[in-house]
């Protein structure tokens, strides 16, 4: 994915073709058009049997109010609603939401199969994120806007909608684009603010339009708490968490929740919020307090120069599917660390050599495998969740440590702390890449091919051979077979 496609939105007021007879004066004054471009696609371009247009005409007031009123959610809310654990929704939970676009996830929910309260939650989510929620009788593109990590995701389709003539189609029939958060917010704000002022000049006595202008201006001076909460995506409030931590341990350093300098949007989640954003929204408060406690325990005083700074993401590894990136990064890391081609990588020794601390957590949430943390004010640390079943065996634990090593070495951004909890709610592409890294780091291809030459070639290995293989490399059976399959050394297992 390209995380930084250009985004353009344009509004223009025109004279109401019905001369104000179809609606009230405020709405009538706002007749005009809008046009949205994502990269080189024009989402508003539509056609019917007789004509096509690259813009959508309608009364714009409702749309402007919707954009301003839902600003925080549009630019900060990542997750679709999820009921408490164990209540329905099946595959629509966890990282399924992140792998697919918001529009795809929403379309796959059978709303009418849900209990009333959940139906309502989904409906409210739709009202905050679907452009058609602002259509108010107009024919708007089927577009969804949401935050996805450090990008804004737009996703669109072409679902028929009541009131849209059968012959009319939006040309961009389905897709997804990603945009830099700060640039997106500034472009959207610029466009909304300028058309709202123009509208006010046209209707200086309108209270409704004056309210819109004030609300728009207020976006720049809004408290950031709501935005932080939306980014963290937790069911429990950040404020109650902060006070629980204060009571138990002490004040939370402000930098952990520092929202940055952009008054329109939080461009980067601060460390605590990033960490919370990778765990389940239903995680219990005691787990969150434990995570905060861990952050506190690994804070560093004064500048440190961790050995991991030596590692940079090689430029040519940015592209390609996550598993391919993970393989290449593992080979690079092995080379840099001068890991020999002996059978077993002593992962704990490697971590110690790099100055990465290993510690334990006992989270009530058994889905979190481990947490990786590093950054300017934190010692590079891997905290293994002792309550996750994957870590119960030695091979599983080794795999976890290698997976977290990938996060620490390659998922850091300059000047921004890394905080990620590995599990079903973590960003799915990072998780795939780290899994591929762990496999190739612990089971290098060269050794594998030799091993296979020694033990026969293309046939499926027998149980004894697999056992020998997993004990040679110190890995679990499933991890080993999956890796062999990915390398085309065995057929599907
Ligand atoms: Zn992970």
pLDDT per residue of the chain (493 residues) written in tens, 0 to 9 = 567 899 999 999 999 999 999 999 999 999 999 999 998 899 999 998 888 999 999 999 999 999 999 999 999 998 887 544 333 333 334 444 456 788 888 887 777 778 888 888 889 999 999 999 999 999 999 999 999 888 999 999 888 777 778 888 898 888 999 999 999 999 999 999 999 999 999 999 999 999 999 999 999 988 888 999 999 988 888 888 889 999 988 888 888 888 889 999 999 999 999 999 889 888 999 999 999 999 999 887 665 666 777 777 666 545 678 888 899 999 899 988 888 777 689 999 999 999 999 999 999 999 999 999 988 888 899 999 999 999 999 999 999 999 999 999 998 876 678 899 998 888 777 888 999 999 999 998 887 777 776 665 555 667 887 888 888 889 998 888 888 888 887 766 5
Spacing, Cα 441 to ligand 1 middle (Å): 15
Residues 6+ apart with CB under 8 A from 412: 308, 374, 375, 418
**Alpha-carbon torsion 382, 387, 390, 396, what sign?**
positive
Show the tokens assigned to 263: 């008054």
* Rg of the chain (C-alpha set): 26
The total of other beta-carbon atoms located within 10 Å of residue 373's CB is 28
Q: At what angle do helices 61-69 and 207-218 cross, to 10 degrees?
A: 30
CA of 405 from ligand 1 middle (Å) equals 9
368 Cα: distance to centroid of ligand 1 (angstroms): 9
CA of 3 to the centre of ligand 1 (A): 20
Tell me, what's the pLDDT at 388? 96
Closest CA to 209 of 220, 198, 219: 198
**Distance, CA 369 to ligand 1 centroid (Å)?**
8
Q: How far is the CA of 440 from the centre of ligand 1 (A)?
A: 15
Sign of the torsion formed by the C-alpha atoms of 388, 394, 398 and 399: negative
| Burial classification of residue 250, based on how many CB atoms lie within 10 Å of its CB (0-12 exposed, 13-18 middle, 19 or more buried) | exposed
Could you tell me the distance, in angstroms and rounded to a whole number, from the CA of residue 383 to the centre of ligand 1?
Answer: 12
Q: How far is the CA of 462 from the centre of ligand 1 (A)?
A: 31
**H helix count then E strand count, the chain:** 19, 14
Nearest Cα residue to 405 out of 426, 381, 424: 381
Identify the pLDDT of residue 466: 81
pLDDT of residue 109: 78
pLDDT at residue 487, as a whole number: 83
Cβ pair 427, 151 in contact under 8 A: no
What are the DSSP E strand ranges found in 228-308?
none
pTM value? 0.85
Q: Are strands 378-385 and 370-375 parallel, antiparallel or unpaired?
A: antiparallel
Ligand 1 geometric centre to CA of 172 (Å): 35
Place of tokens 């601060």: 270
335 HSE (CA, 13 A, CB side):
9
Q: Which residue has the tokens 């391919």?
A: 324
- Dist. CA 403 → ligand 1 center (Å): 6
Instruction: Provide the β-strand partners of residue 359.
Output: 383
Distance (Å) from CA 296 to ligand 1 centroid: 21
| Domain ranges within the chain, ordered by starting residue | 7-220, 225-447, 448-486
Query: Do residues 295 and 283 make contact, with C-beta atoms less than 8 angstroms apart?
Result: no
Instruction: Please report, for residues 303, 314, 368, the alpha-carbon distance to residue 330 in angstroms, rounded to integers and kept in the order given.
Output: 28, 11, 23
What is the CA(330)–ligand 1 centre distance, in A? 15
CA of 445 to the centre of ligand 1 (A): 22
* CA 345 to ligand 1 center in whole angstroms: 19
Q: Residue 368 contacts by C-beta under 8 Å, 6 or more apart in sequence?
A: 279, 361, 385, 388, 421, 422, 423
Q: Which of 95, 84, 79, 151 is nearest to 425 (CA)?
A: 95
Say what angle helices 428-442 and 322-336 make with each other, to 10 degrees.
40
Question: What is the residue-wise DSSP string for 95-112?
Answer: THHHHS-HHHHHHH--GG
Give, as residue ranges, everything with CB less than 5 Å from ion ligand 1. 422, 431, 434
């Amino acid at each position: 994915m390209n995380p930084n496609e250009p985004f353009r939105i344009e509004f223009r007021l025109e004279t109401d073709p019905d001369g104000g007879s179809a609606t009230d004066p405020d709405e009538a004054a706002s007749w005009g058009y809008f046009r949205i471009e994502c990269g080189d696609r024009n989402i508003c371009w539509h056609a019917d049997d007789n004509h096509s247009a690259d813009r959508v005409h309608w009364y714009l007031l409702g749309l402007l109010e919707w954009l301003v009123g839902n600003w925080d959610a549009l630019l900060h809310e990542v997750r679709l609603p999820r009921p408490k654990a164990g209540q329905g929704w099946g595959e629509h939970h966890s990282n399924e939401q992140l792998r697919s676009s918001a529009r795809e996830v929403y379309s796959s929910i059978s709303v009418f199969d849900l209990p009333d309260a959940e139906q309502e939650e989904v409906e409210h989510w739709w009202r905050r994120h679907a452009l058609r929620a602002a259509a108010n009788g107009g024919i708007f593109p089927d577009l969804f806007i949401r935050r996805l990590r450090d990008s804004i995701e737009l996703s669109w389709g072409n679902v028929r909608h009541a009131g849209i003539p059968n012959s009319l189609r939006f040309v961009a029939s389905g897709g997804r684009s990603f945009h830099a958060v700060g640039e997106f917010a500034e472009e959207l704000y610029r466009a909304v603010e300028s058309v709202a002022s123009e509208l006010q000049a046209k209707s200086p006595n309108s209270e409704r339009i004056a309210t819109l202008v004030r609300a728009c201006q207020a976006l720049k001076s809004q408290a950031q708490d709501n935005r932080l909460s939306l980014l963290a995506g937790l069911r429990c409030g950040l404020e109650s968490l902060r006070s629980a931590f204060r009571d138990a341990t002490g004040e939370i350093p402000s930098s952990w929740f520092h929202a940055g300098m952009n008054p329109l949007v939080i461009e980067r989640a601060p460390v605590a919020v990033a960490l919370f954003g990778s765990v389940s929204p239903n995680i219990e408060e005691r787990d969150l307090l434990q995570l905060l406690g861990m952050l506190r325990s690994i804070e560093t005083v004064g500048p440190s120069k961790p050995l991991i700074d030596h590692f940079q993401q090689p430029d040519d590894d940015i592209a390609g599917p996550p598993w391919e990136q993970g393989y290449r990064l593992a080979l690079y890391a092995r080379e840099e660390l001068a890991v020999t081609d002996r059978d077993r990588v002593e992962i704990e020794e490697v971590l110690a050599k790099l100055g990465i601390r290993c510690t334990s957590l006992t989270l009530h949430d058994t889905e979190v495998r481990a947490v990786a943390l590093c950054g300017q004010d934190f010692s590079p640390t891997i905290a293994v969740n002792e309550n996750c079943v994957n870590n119960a065996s030695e091979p599983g634990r080794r795999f976890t440590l290698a997976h977290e090593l990938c996060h620490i070495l390659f998922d850091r951004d300059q000047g921004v702390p890394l905080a990620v909890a590995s599990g079903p709610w973590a960003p799915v592409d990072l998780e795939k890449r780290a899994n591929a890294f762990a496999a190739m780091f612990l089971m290098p291809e060269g050794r594998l091919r030799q091993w296979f030459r020694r033990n026969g070639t293309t046939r499926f290995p027998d149980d004894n051979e697999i056992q020998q293989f997993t004990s040679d490399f110190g890995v679990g059976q499933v991890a080993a077979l999956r890796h062999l399959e990915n390398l085309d050394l065995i057929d599907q297992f």
